[in-house]
Amino acid sequence: MGNWNTTSDFILLGLFNHTGAHLFLFVMVLMMAFTSLVGNALILVLILLDPRLHRPMYFLLSQLSLMDLLLVCTIVPKMAADYLTDRKSISPAGCGLQIFFLSLGGGECFLLAAMSYDRYVAVCHPLRYSVLMSRQSCLRMILGSWFLGAADGLMQAAATLSFSFCSSREMDHFFCEAPTLVRLACADTSAFEYVMYICCVLMLLVPLSLILTSYGLILAAVLQMRSNEARKKAFATCSSHLSVVGLFFGAAIFTYMRPKSYRSANHDKVVSVYYTVFTPVLNPLIYSLRNSEVKGALRKCMDQCAALSICPKVRSCKK
């Protein structure tokens, strides 16, 4: 019984120490997280307010931004509070919530697959777009993505926390992640790790195969187009989505499909920063800078805000 810990809390060793270089990196991560929150919130507001963006493509994009907001809000505030207060403990309930919301991001795989199908229909079947991507179809895709992500998160959190943990409850990480937490268990976890690996592979490779199939068909259709302008327009509508797919699946495959022998705590933490902070920053930038409709909605919103700020000054001058 000497191996058992009297406290139920886990200890997160964190991402940074209190040196000058790490303090600079900490500030940079906070700035990226803030930029991510502002950028994704702005995408949500623009899609909500601008009628031109009330289309399936942007409805799916709004859910991507919402998932990124949840991911950043789950990880970064706790990491920042631990660094500033030097209090590194986290309760099992808090750990379970982090695992759940992190795994909820697994629904992003299926959401990206739905977005690729939307682009396939738009390019290859434009006349049937309103039928194939109706409001009901779009809603089913979104609900399916959220449901699969939530189911995966709930199973991972419940199964991981069901193990008994030994006296060493220290995780060399800055948030609770199922693969890291399982290493602290006192029981044999090989069967659970094998099942978790299979689930991760399926949740990554099935959507990725659907995405590659969609874009393979899109590429074949684009190459048959005679108009260069039509080709440019087709590539423009797909390039931003392909950029996001590459960023997300590259980090996810590196994190969850590597063999155990190639894993190290430092590599895991660096890659975790990439997909929990860096990728959510890039998503709104990619969709705003490379999408003329989003840029147009942003200009319209800024013009309206400027007009509202000028009106009170004009009235006061007349008085």
- 106 closest CA partner among 147, 162, 66: 147
Distance (Å, whole) CA 96 – CA 160: 8
- Whether the Cβ atoms of residue 35 and residue 281 lie closer than 8 Å to each other: yes
Structure tokens at 41: 């919130």
CB count within 10 Å of CB 246 equals 10
- Whether the Cβ atoms of residue 290 and residue 284 lie closer than 8 Å to each other: no
DSSP secondary-structure letter at 53? G
What pLDDT, on a 0 to 100 scale, did the predictor assign at position 146? 93
Distance (Å, whole) CA 64 – CA 108: 7
CA distances from 194 to 102, 104, 164, 246, 267 (A): 19, 20, 18, 26, 21
Residue ranges for the chain with pLDDT beneath 50:
1-6
Distance (Å, whole) CA 117 – CA 57: 10
CA distances from 308 to 3, 177, 297 (A): 66, 46, 17
- Whether the Cβ atoms of residue 154 and residue 176 lie closer than 8 Å to each other: no
What pLDDT, on a 0 to 100 scale, did the predictor assign at position 194? 85
For 62-90, the pLDDT digits (tens) are 999 999 999 999 999 999 999 998 888 89
For 139-167, the pLDDT digits (tens) are 999 999 999 999 988 988 998 888 888 76
What pLDDT, on a 0 to 100 scale, did the predictor assign at position 313? 54
- 76 closest CA partner among 31, 43, 44: 31
End-to-end CA distance of the chain: 82
